[in-house]
Structure 1
Amino acid sequence: MEDHTKPVKIAEDIYWVGHKIENDPFQCHVYLIKNGKESILIDPGSNLTFKDTLYKIEQIIPFSHIKYFICHHQDPDITAALETIKHILNRDDAQIISHWRAIELIKHYNLNIPFICVERNNWELNANGRKLKFIFTPYLHFPGAFCTYDVKSKILFSSDLFGGFTDEWKIFAEDESYYDSIAAFHAHYMPSKEILIHSLKKIEELDIEMIAPQHGSIIKKHLIQPIIKRLKNLDCGIFLLTQTSTEIEKLRKLNKMLSAFLQTMATYKDFSELIKKFSKEINDILLIKSIEFYTYFLNKYYYFNHHTPLMWEEICIDNHILKYLGKSKSEYLKQNPYIILFDNSLMMPIFDSENNVIIAFIQIKFDESFSLDLETKEILQKISNFFTIAFEREFIRRKILIEKEKYYEISIKDPLTNCYTRHYLHEAVKRFIALQDRGEIKALGITFIDIDDFKRINDTYGHDVGDMVLMKVGNILLEEVRTGDIPVRYGGEEFLIMAICDDVSKLYTIAKRIREKIKNIKWPPPLDKEKITASFGIALREKGEEFKKTLKRADIQLYKAKQSGKNKICVDSST
């Protein structure tokens, strides 16, 4: 167990001499470099902590041995102790080291201790042979911010950089999970990802054994690179979002949610991925019960939820949300706030980008009562704006799909008879054969149908009359086949039915009904004196048999039906 009442040696001649403030997630640290009569105190601390810091220092060296006081910035958690120090300091050569921007503020303590400007001292210090380098890290979190690198120990005293909020503080970070503490602090204090990356690249050029930040925990070598890598992807500056909230972790999560959603928008075009990502991120913050979506598409109302984003159910009953769909933005906002709160849920609109009318509504339901602060509302409103793009993409995708299905239907259907085409038969038969060969269906049957004496009808009455006969026969097939059967116009006056069956009797029964219907048609003039019939040939596919062989056997039976007087049904004997 760590003992925070004593100085902690972190490397040879280097000590943590800070003070732990109980129940404070924002611990502030002071470090001592023991260097004879030119010892160095890094970030001296505040009046809350300095009494304990002084006690720890004097267990290692006399306080009078400290010559240099490095102040990485001017904030009181670093510099307020200087007022106490000036009264106990008994050497004239002591110096405060800082950036000129910080010095311009620290001088107002009226300390009568001379300053060294790091930038005017070539960004380094030689303390009786011990060399320190100063690394400029502007705007992290102060314009004149810098870090101190001890060449001998290879320790980087990083000030606010790599600092963290820690609920259960320990001097040394235990594992990579410490990144979460760093992220909470940096997202709140650092101004932007770009500024952070600029300084991280400088730091990566150093040979670092350990990072000793002013806040949080000390980071050992094996954790440094993984943490830097993750920090480069951290979105900072989240206080741009806030007006009222001081809940830093909540603000960080809100910022993370917006960032994750934006990244998903850029990365994924898939609508379901966007919905799932949004649901996951918002649940981390608001603990939702469900998210429901209502939309108006191609003159119909639809509903879906976050579990089934691609399964849109048509709404046929009245719903209080539907009255908002199709309203203009101005009309809606005259009567309602942007986000409507009621019972244990909230609703927010999605406007289209062209006409500013409501194309969808999101309803978020909670398990219990809730309240929304301004920051959460602002983030949700931003996300609802991005949902405009998501829904418009999905509308386009669905329209394209509908058009594809329409043209696919045209491509697989014979335009004259509305039966399937021969091309589709060869596409579909692969699936049927696979099912039969795996034993998932018992038998696959083929029925060939040929209109008797069709050439004579065509030659005598013309192609228009011939087409009428084909249409009528096609309609009879469509009426008589079962769901799942495939009626095909095979070519000219020849039709085919592919069907799943248990035995040939089912096929024979269907063929018999079709034959009777064709025979009993009362044709209009000029066919009113004609008796048109059809012949049938039936065969069952044997397991493992090539489909063309099954077709050949059915075709042979059709030929037999023709030869035996037409208007007959012949069945393959091996069937």
Structure 2
Amino acid sequence: MPIELYNQKGHLCLMFTDLCEEGGEAVQSNQFLIVDGDTGAIIDPGGNLAYGELYLAMTRFFSPQQLSAIVASHADPDIIASLDRWLTTTSSAKVYISRIWERFVPHFCKAGKTTGRIVGIPDAGARIPIGRSELIALPAHFLHSEGNFQFYDPVSKILFSGDLGASLIGGEAAKKPVTSLAGHVPRMEGFHRRYMVSNKVLRLWAQMVRKLPIDMIVPQHGAPMQGAAVQEFIAWAESLPCGVDLMSERDYAVPA
């Protein structure tokens, strides 16, 4: 069952945390459905494991032909491997992804399926119209992908943060928002030290998002963060050494 993150005046944000079977081989991942009036968007639709239930949930609010956008933070399989099926069942929805990846994502689809359907987001970001509102694609390059975006919903004030903010927990635990970061850090730290490229990029990200009113940060893995945890996470990320900061010659040695 989806978790309702926001529901006011015809604008609805739903999160799905358990469409990939918990305890199975696949990493836990979240998928998101944004509804605005009689249309909407899918954020990071995931792979084939997630497709069926996410599709059925969408049809409870509007027909497949009314889907406005499929938006992808980057091009990993857990983000967009189900693209071929989405493009088959929706005839007009555009796929928004970094222009770095727009010629790579057709590899997920049958020949010709993506023709005229992919919109490459420029490095500086973009505003994506969704019904009466929009999603703002925020630059999040190298967090963790070379071409990477987060999506800010100005109506709900939710930042859909992709892999940044991810925690390594199961789908059931991911349904409960975190309101204080202290006890949550052990579920996040190892992932962020390995998957985020450098502290320099995290500092630039923190500087950018502090300009936005954010009520909730919702990553693509694990639990959302709200209340005090939002600013606590931004401060924690801003000071975290990670990625190339931690590399040395011992990490680039010929194996014995």
**TM-score for both structures, normalised by structure 2:** 0.83
What's the % identity of the aligned pairs?
24
- Please report how far the alpha carbon of residue 58 of structure 1 lies from its aligned counterpart in structure 2 after TM superposition: 3.1
Deviations 1:295-342 (A, max 9, x none): xxxxxxxxxxxxxxxxxxxxxxxxxxxxxxxxxxxxxxxxxxxxxxxx
Deviations 1:161-217 (A, max 9, x none): 111212573223333222222222211101111112211211111110111111111
Q: Pick the structure with greater CA Rg.
A: 1
Partner of 2:221: 215
Name the SS of the counterpart of 2:167 in structure 1: coil
Paired residue type of 2:97: S
Structure 2 unaligned segments of length 5 or more: list them: none
Task: Check whether the contact 2:140–2:149 (CA below 8 A) recurs between aligned residues.
Answer: yes
Residue of structure 2 aligned with 1:116, choices 116, 119, 122: 119
Deviations 1:55-111 (A, max 9, x none): 33334443333120001111111111001112222x3x3100111012121133343
Partner of 1:14: 13
Paired residue type of 2:99: W
Partner of 1:66: 67
Task: Check whether the contact 2:20–2:28 (CA below 8 A) recurs between aligned residues.
Answer: yes
Paired residue type of 1:97: Y
Partner of 1:251: none
5 Å-filtered alignment, 1:362-511, equals none
Size of the aligned set, in residue pairs, is 238
Q: 2:22 and 2:125 mapped to 1: Cα distance?
A: 40
Residue 146 to residue 190, structure 1, CA distance change in 2 (3 Å): same
Residue of structure 2 aligned with 1:153, choices 153, 156, 168: 156
Task: Check whether the contact 1:164–1:186 (CA below 8 A) recurs between aligned residues.
Answer: no
Task: Check whether the contact 1:71–1:98 (CA below 8 A) recurs between aligned residues.
Answer: yes
Paired residue type of 1:71: A
Task: Check whether the contact 1:164–1:182 (CA below 8 A) recurs between aligned residues.
Answer: yes
5 Å-filtered alignment, 1:277-316, equals none
Residue of structure 1 aligned with 2:196, choices 172, 186, 190: 190
Structure showing the higher helix proportion among its residues: 1
Q: 2:35 and 2:132 mapped to 1: Cα distance?
A: 13
Task: Check whether the contact 1:208–1:221 (CA below 8 A) recurs between aligned residues.
Answer: no
- Please report how far the alpha carbon of residue 20 of structure 1 lies from its aligned counterpart in structure 2 after TM superposition: 4.3
Task: Check whether the contact 2:144–2:196 (CA below 8 A) recurs between aligned residues.
Answer: yes
Name the SS of the counterpart of 1:229 in structure 2: helix
- Please report how far the alpha carbon of residue 221 of structure 1 lies from its aligned counterpart in structure 2 after TM superposition: 2.9
Task: Check whether the contact 2:43–2:70 (CA below 8 A) recurs between aligned residues.
Answer: yes
Residue 27 (structure 2) pairs with residue 23 (structure 1):
no
Structure 1 unaligned segments of length 5 or more: list them: 1-5, 245-373, 375-575
Paired residue type of 2:114: N
Partner of 1:36: 37
Residue 207 (structure 2) pairs with residue 206 (structure 1):
no
Deviations 1:91-149 (A, max 9, x none): 3x310011101212113334335122222896112223202211101111111111111
Paired residue type of 2:51: F
Name the SS of the counterpart of 2:68 in structure 1: strand
Task: Check whether the contact 1:7–1:57 (CA below 8 A) recurs between aligned residues.
Answer: no
Partner of 1:103: 102
Task: Check whether the contact 2:65–2:93 (CA below 8 A) recurs between aligned residues.
Answer: no
Deviations 1:420-441 (A, max 9, x none): xxxxxxxxxxxxxxxxxxxxxx
Residue 181 to residue 41, structure 1, CA distance change in 2 (3 Å): same
Partner of 2:143: 140
Paired residue type of 2:197: P
Deviations 1:368-419 (A, max 9, x none): xxxxxx9xxxxxxxxxxxxxxxxxxxxxxxxxxxxxxxxxxxxxxxxxxxxx
Q: 1:125 and 1:170 mapped to 2: Cα distance?
A: 27
- Please report how far the alpha carbon of residue 218 of structure 1 lies from its aligned counterpart in structure 2 after TM superposition: 0.9
- Please report how far the alpha carbon of residue 219 of structure 1 lies from its aligned counterpart in structure 2 after TM superposition: 1.0
Task: Check whether the contact 1:158–1:211 (CA below 8 A) recurs between aligned residues.
Answer: yes
Paired residue type of 2:135: L
